[in-house]
Amino acid sequence: MRPVAWLLGLGAGLVSVAALIGGRAAGIGGIAAVVAQTWAVLLLRPVMRAPNPRFMARWLGGMGIRLVGAVVVLIVAVTYRASLPPLPAVLGYLGVLLPLLFLETRFLK
């Protein structure tokens, strides 16, 4: 579980930076990104050495989780524009998710 703790710690740092730059909406989008990435990593970790069909099914599930997270953030931001501006929320989601996604292999050990 130690790599997941690193993921959460790095995610918290990225959310802090996103919130400082983009405000509350970017922080909310960043939190959604950390949740989605953590869920995807926890889904994929048990099958890292499994046969390719099982691995690919879990990998695709993780990508679906990330996509659903982005869609949920966008829908909530568009529905409640006054309290959650869409552009900072989506940029916060992407700004936190992309670095975590690039470092994903480090969290899968």
Q: 89-108: per-residue pLDDT in tens?
A: 999 999 999 999 998 887 77
Rounded to whole angstroms, how far apart are CA atoms 78 and 73? 9
Q: What percent of the chain has pLDDT over 90?
A: 74
Looking from the CA of 94 toward its CB, the CA atoms found within 13 Å total 8
43 in Cβ contact with 102 (< 8 Å): no
68 in Cβ contact with 34 (< 8 Å): no
Longest dimension (CA), the chain: 48
Rounded to whole angstroms, how far apart are CA atoms 34 and 3? 14
Q: 61-82: per-residue pLDDT in tens?
A: 999 999 999 999 999 999 999 9
Here the tokens at position 70 are: 């982005």
Q: For the residues 23-49, what does the mean pLDDT come to?
A: 93
* Mean per-residue pLDDT over the chain, rounded: 92
